Amino acid sequence: MKKFRPFTWALTGLVALFLFLSFATPKGKSAFRDLNKNGKMDVYEDKSQSVDKRVEDLLSQMNLEEKAGSLFINGTLINEDGTIEKKEGAQGFAARLPSSVELMRDKKMNHFNYWQAPDVKELAIGYNAIQKYAEEKTRLGIPVTIYSDPRHYFSNNIFAMAANSFTQWPEQMGFAAIGDAKLMQQFGDIARQEYIGVGIRGALDPMADLATEPRWPRISGTFGEDAKLSAKMIEAYILGFQGNQLGATSVACMTKHFSGGGPQKEGLDPHFEFQKGQVYPGNNFNYHLIPFEAAFKVHTAAIMPYYGIPTDQTSENVGFSYNKDIITGLLRNKYHYDGIVCTDWGLVTDTRMGPVVWPARAWGVEKLTPEERVQKIINAGVDQFGGESCPEHIISLVKSGKLSEKRIDESVRRVLRQKFILGLFDNPYVVVDNAIATVGKAEWKKVAEMAQRRAMTLLKNDNKVLPLATGKWKIYVRNVDPQVAAQYGTVVNKPEEADFAILRLNTPWVPVESQNFMARGFHHGDLDFKGTLKDSIIQLLKTVPTIVDIYIDRPAVIPEISSLAKGLFADFGASDAAVLDVIFGKVKPGGKLPLELPSSMEAVRNQKEDVPYDSKNPLYKFGFFWWRKILILN
């Protein structure tokens, strides 16, 4: 047997001692992340301490610049290779923004939302790179909170972010059509896991607004016009994302847009200067609060007010985030809400887009300077500024004595508290392989795709022509992928050759006259088909028995189409395969209309913006589905 030499024994002993010292910790102590690089465990770095103690310790160490930076959220990007620095020649809207590194270094910011993001692997890599910079390069190592607008909907709407590999479900309106709170909560739970996989810890949703004005461009993001239905779905949505209590496995919901953005005058949206106020001709302000009350019940982590002025509802006609009666009087005092309140994006600073200036949404206070706008928003009771990177205004206001640092501390406490509760100070990183394995799991995609089908709402089934038999008919398709349609029947090139036509349509809209490309992209205007487009649709319906599916992102006005179609469906975000599966009977449609479809544009113009289901003689009433009609007739 080989003998150990004295040197070997000594080396072995040193290794053992090193391992002991590395892994053994004094009683009551634990390993910690030395975020402020001072070689000792501060209270805010000690996960055994209470959240309140950790918040107060960190707050006491923060300087004014760091406090101010914590109160701003703005968009950033991750490059296609997962890097986070800006690249020369980069393309896209977000490429014109400062990088997260610049904002962390120069503005002391630690909240971002992605306006341009790659696929899952690179998204996770980029997220870790952001957290690594925050930990290693900032003075106190405060972790970053990443927010996102919805990324889980099958949608071409301007508000929907790129889904990439995330599961694709119907839009909120589709969940309202299904009306299943358990499914809504399951969606939230799956979306939560996918978000956490790539480091997204804040959801800029759900929308609790009510679709009482049919022309409003943001209806697809709502749960329709009924307050009780919306409240039921809001509660389930938030429980899915946050759980019964916000914690380390939650995604924090920022419910919007308090106190209800639906009743826009003539449907024009206050993202833009041509609409600065919403109206209440039916004296129905309180109706729009009902879904938010459901959000408060399940402790939504944050609230976002909208842009517009609640005309003549408060002591001054200023936008919601500038409005102390709304934020402090109603939200803080009446509802005792103590979570984060964050403005909608871009209330302070004008945005230049080439030759066009997009004014800040400072409605009612346009004459105030940007610094004065910040002061008024803070004084109203708001904590954070969305879509802004101007902490220098808060610094200036405090140094000049116009704002107290004590008031700023109130908001910073709320922001830090959420970060601690989410567990970001203890481990903000994600495992890239886990992200790849989690996002878009096959079993989750199956549930999401089934939801697209369930949400479809059958409005007409003339002579019970539906469902069609698979493989039996010659079919002509318009606005449907012929290769997908070929799996259901023989696709022909002319309607005259077909037994049936299948036509997919989008609810009509009319671009506003504006040089602002964002304004032109919003679905404003009349809801009925006109001119040559309408003529071509009617001609097809008269040529061959036609099954029509229409995407309802706003309530379409379709009396002639409904009259001539043999079958008529409403969808709320669905693939061609989903629609065809329903038409050909592979899946039964399960939706009920979450809003009424008006009979005419005259009826739309005569209804009240703040009142639900009030257009005269609607073509299809709220809650309608064809099976219900048959049951009533029988």
Please tell me the predicted confidence (pLDDT) of residue 156: 63
Instruction: State both tokens at 288.
Output: 């729009």
Instruction: Tell me: pLDDT of 630 over 60.
Output: no
Instruction: Tell me: pLDDT of 496 over 50.
Output: yes
- Rounded Cα–Cα distance for residues 76 and 130 (Å): 11
- Rounded Cα–Cα distance for residues 612 and 608 (Å): 8
Instruction: Tell me: pLDDT of 12 over 70.
Output: no
Instruction: Tell me: pLDDT of 5 over 90.
Output: no
- Rounded Cα–Cα distance for residues 241 and 247 (Å): 11
Per residue in 211-239, pLDDT (tens digit) is 999 999 999 999 999 999 999 999 999 99
Instruction: State both tokens at 577.
Output: 């395969």
Confidence class for position 22, pLDDT limits 50, 70, 90: very low
- Rg (C-alpha) for the chain, rounded Å, is 27
- Rounded Cα–Cα distance for residues 252 and 301 (Å): 5
Instruction: Tell me: pLDDT of 315 over 60.
Output: yes
Per residue in 324-357, pLDDT (tens digit) is 999 999 999 999 999 999 999 999 999 988 889 9
What is the rounded average pLDDT of the residues 531-551? 98
Q: Across the strands, what pairs with 255?
A: 303
Per residue in 70-95, pLDDT (tens digit) is 999 999 989 999 999 988 766 666 66
Please tell me the predicted confidence (pLDDT) of residue 18: 40
Per residue in 442-466, pLDDT (tens digit) is 999 999 999 999 999 999 999 999 9
Per residue in 382-411, pLDDT (tens digit) is 999 999 999 999 999 999 999 999 999 999
What's the DSSP call for residue 21? Answer: H
Based on the residue annotation, tell me whether 344 is a catalytic residue of this protein.
yes
Across all residues in the chain, what is the average pLDDT? Answer: 92
- Rounded Cα–Cα distance for residues 206 and 295 (Å): 9
Please tell me the predicted confidence (pLDDT) of residue 6: 41
In angstroms, how far is CA 422 from the centroid of its own chain? 19
What is the rounded average pLDDT of the residues 588-614? 97
- Rounded Cα–Cα distance for residues 117 and 123 (Å): 6
Per residue in 153-184, pLDDT (tens digit) is 987 665 555 566 899 999 999 999 999 999 99
Tell me what percent of the residues of the chain surpass a pLDDT of 90.
Answer: 86
**Contact predicate 573/594, CB 8 Å:** no
Please tell me the predicted confidence (pLDDT) of residue 87: 81
What is the sign of the dihedral through the CA atoms of 291, 550, 264 and 73? positive
Instruction: Tell me: pLDDT of 548 over 60.
Output: yes
Weakest-pLDDT range from 111-115, 144-148, 597-601: 111-115
| Amino acid identity, position 185 | Q
pLDDT higher for 583 or 117?
583
Residue closest to 341 by CA, chosen among 333, 353, 349, 350? 333
Which one from 180, 209, 344, 576 is the annotated catalytic residue? 344
Domains of the chain: 26-61 (no CATH), 62-86+115-442 (3.20.20.300), 456-633 (3.40.50.1700)
